[in-house]
Structure 1
């Protein structure tokens, strides 16, 4: 069984707005390495649609991009992508699949059949999966920014406090810190 790892950019004040992170070569190399290690990607519909609108064109070379960004896009293009959605059933992006049925059962099944692990990249979905005790690890890229706005990490959607154990913390040259936690229980 593979681990379900929630990974996202988060500012010092908890903002997870995708436009608030540093989007440089170092950041993209970090997320490409995470994606390389994982066997699959898991998103909610909103995040999937955001990613679908940008990354396939970069992977195809239709959009000019630096090497690190293109590497991320190409890695993502071939990675199995799973989507939780109650409103959409058609996911035409290469290697995309809809999660169907009971969420707990379907995600546990995905973990069971993905020994390399599943990388989760949607904040609202993460809150729901955390409430179901399905998230095993957290890899946050803490951005050296204060935004004063949201959306925020979990946005009040957890039903209780989670205790985490620090695995590692690595500073990056851009001022971000890559932190890796696992559930402490």
Structure 2
């Protein structure tokens, strides 16, 4: 079975994907830990990778005070294969990290094909590029009860056409966020 590529990110009601604008509580961490646990690999752009690399390995080692939910996420993240798309960096030393090089469409399709449990994409800018290549199969957004009033925003660089989606589920969390799961509904329309 071919793996699917799922784009998952925190987003405010006005589309802001700044990682500091969401609710970072145990419930949110548990949500993303479950998503990561179900996936076979993580896929990030360099900026997201470097942000994650600068914090989570220290949490996994116990060098940083963290809640149980945060530590569980960090420990699982250590073991999970992490693939990074970058044209400026090729050396990724964090445990189980791999560079994606060459043609983006071919490389990511090969990663999907080689990962039956699916690939979890967590970078907004990279998602725009991969959506333009028709590589994203599902979307799992955690929509936070916030209006940020600033960017960066989801797909701020645009897409060539409207993406039609089918709702799979909408699950409210106790903290007021809603986990939205969509899958591609068919051909792109203009």
Q: For residue 90 of structure 1, what is the aligned residue in structure 2?
A: 91
With normalisation by structure 2, the TM-score equals 0.97
1:113 equivalent to 2:114? Answer yes
Residue segments in structure 1 that go unaligned for 5+ positions in a row = none
CA drift of 1:52 comes to: 0.3
* Deviations 1:69-94 (CA, angstroms, capped at 9, x unpaired): 00010111100000000000100000
Q: Secondary structure at the match of 1:74?
A: helix
- TM-score, normalised on structure 1? 0.99
Whole-Å separation in 1 of the counterparts to 2:127 and 2:178: 21
Q: Does 1:170 align with 2:165?
A: no
Partner-residue secondary structure (3-state), 1:19: coil
The equivalent of 1:156 in structure 2 is: 157
Work out whether 1:74 is the aligned partner of 2:60: no
TM superposition outliers: structure 1 runs of 4+ over 6 Å:
none
Pairwise mapping of residues 27-38 of structure 1 onto structure 2 (< 5 A)?
27-38=28-39
Task: Give 1:3's aligned residue.
Answer: 4
SS in 2 for 1:32: helix
Instruction: Give 2:131's aligned residue.
Output: 130
Residue 157 of structure 1 and its aligned partner are, at CA, apart by: 2.6
Compute the RMSD of aligned alpha carbons: 0.5
Displacement of 1:171 after TM fit? 0.3
- 1:156 is displaced (CA, Å) by 3.1
CA–CA distance in structure 2, aligned partners of residues 21 and 158 of structure 1: 24
Corresponding residue pairs, total = 185
Give the Å deviation of 1:64.
1.1
Structure 2 residue 182 is matched with structure 1 residue 181:
yes
Q: Does 1:59 align with 2:60?
A: yes
In structure 2, distance between residues paired with 1:5 and 1:171 = 20
Residue 22 (structure 1) aligned with residue 16 (structure 2): no
